[in-house]
Structure 1
Amino acid sequence: MDGKKAKQEIVTGGQFTIPGTEVRKMRSRKGDRVYQIFVSSPLEEPPSSGFPVIYLLDGNSVFGTMAEALRVQSRRPEKTGVVPAVIVGIGYPTDQPFSAVRHCDFTLPLPESELPVHPKGAAWPEHGGAEEFLSFIEEELKPEVERDYRIDTGRQTIFGHSLGGLFVLQVLLTRPELFQTYIAGSPSIHWNKRFIQEEAERFAVRLRDAELDVSVLLAAGEIEKSHKSRIPEHAKVLFSVLSELESKGVRAEYREFEGEGHISVLPVLISRALRFALNPGGPHTSFSSV
């Protein structure tokens, strides 16, 4: 160099894409709803049984976080306890992290008189479409994913947060055979507390003469204790019911993350969820850090 500083080449206008990911749109037959589906698949060859799969609600807001966390941690399963897996984020055709449509998709019908008070005093968006949403997942989304990717249908996880966590619990208590791992972060049990309480009791009664093979992670942020929705308290009550069913094949865990609130809990919850759902030794095996 002749004493002059080399010019730095600056390239603008490009877009970053997480390796191994794709985005597609699907229109549901029931409800005629358009979904934006985010998929992350491992670059390596699948095992003979296929890859485990995580169905992730609110894909617009958390798909990137989970996909990158999995991409890094699954490089050394023997150290991290996270094996390669397919992630299917279920989102909506918007650039915003959340869509108001989620209120309908994640909730069951509820009389107006039983709805919780909106924190801003406004009217709630349309709600009560959870059955149609579950039908979309089971009858349309899962078959398409299993057609395009090698999936181990014996290792299916569903992950939801807030109202998504409520949806996860609704599925667990009424259709537990649909997934093997259920992860409900900061679940909005207060939205339909009576239903969850009654279904939890029925769930326990049904298991007197039957057995399951499911793992359940309930989690919340420590700061959520101060909120009037009492999310951690309600989650602990449900955990106490589920933990009594271990002999019937229900492995339940409750985690409360120090210093985290309703939204900030998501990254640390996702990291814990990956180890819970994807470690090769079972949901309660401990692994050293990298």
Structure 2
Amino acid sequence: MKSLIPLLALCCCTAAAAAATVAPAAAAGSAANPATAPAYVLDNTEVRDVRATAIKRDYQVYVALPDSYRTSTRRYPVIFVVDAGYAFPVARGIASRLHRHAGMEEAIVVGLSYAKGDSAVYSRTRDYTPSVSRKGRRQSDMPGRPMASGEADGYGRFIAADVFPLIAAHYRADMRRKIFVGHSYGGLLGLQMLFTQPRTFEHYILGSPSLWFDQGVMFDREKAYAAAHRDLPASVFFGIGAREILAPGKQRSRAEEDADMVADLREFHDALATHRYPGLATTLKVFADEDHASVFPLVLTHGLRAYLKRQ
């Protein structure tokens, strides 16, 4: 069971290379045409097409199965990770390494792709953000198509209504133990689900959420949720790099160019804590010497440790 998934962003997690092989078909093609290099392949992975029925778009899911999957009959917790082009191979490698070298339980890893026909920037800006920015639309990187945003609700419903049944039908997945992983805009998506349908996942790993988006709209949504609810049944691990701070001499605001992401996340986490929701468990960790680009593997590692069991 193999799939051809490019590993352009795998530099953050070299452990994933341990289980990689060269696809026989690609190798044969290389012999026939020496100028064609074979593709890099991840073992025990599959790619499946999935239609988002409500929002009428097409996506793919990438699935990585644990080493013991073929020789066991048990069901496995499932890690769902957005921004799959980068994050899926990283998550696969880290999950495998945590099992092999740290004794953590194995998990199925599911990567959620960008929409077919869309660029990464276009797809994630539309699908992961909770609102249409009051500051106006950014310039689109897709000619002839204005940048879209604010469709996180629809994308969250797509995950629950279309992706979950697909995974449950084809794999021995323990759908009572689902983990969401999102970074940056992906963190916003996780927060949107947290405040609308918190039981969508049993554990949320949210790295460096872009709380500055739309002048801090997620702070407003946190207050609105608190005003209407007495509980928030969720387990959440927040992580961020210590270098994601405001440059010296600048005044902090709810704007991207003046955002102090560490201060924003501390403020957000403290706001959640003040409500004393009986069903909410949160952890916030700030990783020294890391920035927005480098912190994701650490957030993922610590977030998985906070939920997966030791064997």
Q: For each residue in 1:40-83, what CA deviation from the matched residue of structure 2 results, as whole angstroms up to 9, or x when unmatched?
A: 111314564x211111010011111110111122125xxx2521
Q: For each residue in 1:196-235, what CA deviation from the matched residue of structure 2 results, as whole angstroms up to 9, or x when unmatched?
A: 2232224334553x462x2111111111113522211111
Partner of 1:26: 50
Q: Superposition pairs for residues 148-167 of structure 1, below 5 Å?
A: 148-167=170-189
Asked whether 1:58 is paired with 2:83, we answer yes
Which whole-Å CA distance do the structure 2 matches of 1:249 and 1:116 have between them? 37
Alignment partner for residue 104 of structure 1, among 126, 134, 138? 126
Alignment partner for residue 237 of structure 2, among 201, 217, 233? 217
Identity %: 26
> What's the CA shift for 1:275?
1.2
Retained in 2: the 8 A contact 1:60–1:97?
no
Alignment partner for residue 97 of structure 2, among 72, 77, 80? 72
Partner of 2:25: none
For the residue of structure 2 that corresponds to 1:278, the secondary structure is: coil
Partner of 2:40: 16
Which whole-Å CA distance do the structure 1 matches of 2:229 and 2:115 have between them? 40
Which whole-Å CA distance do the structure 2 matches of 1:224 and 1:43 have between them? 36
For residues 143 and 57 of structure 1, do their structure 2 counterparts lie closer, same or farther at Cα, with a shift above 3 Å needed?
Answer: same
For the residue of structure 2 that corresponds to 1:83, the secondary structure is: coil
Alignment partner for residue 136 of structure 1, among 135, 147, 158? 158
**Normalising by the residue count of structure 2, what TM-score does the alignment of the two structures yield?**
0.75
Please provide the CA RMSD for this pair.
3.0
Which whole-Å CA distance do the structure 2 matches of 1:154 and 1:17 have between them? 30
Alignment partner for residue 65 of structure 2, among 24, 41, 45? 41
Partner of 2:22: none
Q: Which structure 1 segments of 5+ residues have no match?
A: 1-9, 282-290
Which whole-Å CA distance do the structure 2 matches of 1:70 and 1:261 have between them? 22
For residues 117 and 99 of structure 1, do their structure 2 counterparts lie closer, same or farther at Cα, with a shift above 3 Å needed?
Answer: closer
**Normalising by the residue count of structure 1, what TM-score does the alignment of the two structures yield?**
0.80
Q: Which structure 2 segments of 5+ residues have no match?
A: 1-29, 140-144, 248-257
Partner of 1:250: 280
Partner of 2:197: 175
For the residue of structure 2 that corresponds to 1:254, the secondary structure is: strand
For the residue of structure 2 that corresponds to 1:182, the secondary structure is: strand
For residues 171 and 257 of structure 1, do their structure 2 counterparts lie closer, same or farther at Cα, with a shift above 3 Å needed?
Answer: same
Retained in 2: the 8 A contact 1:158–1:183?
yes
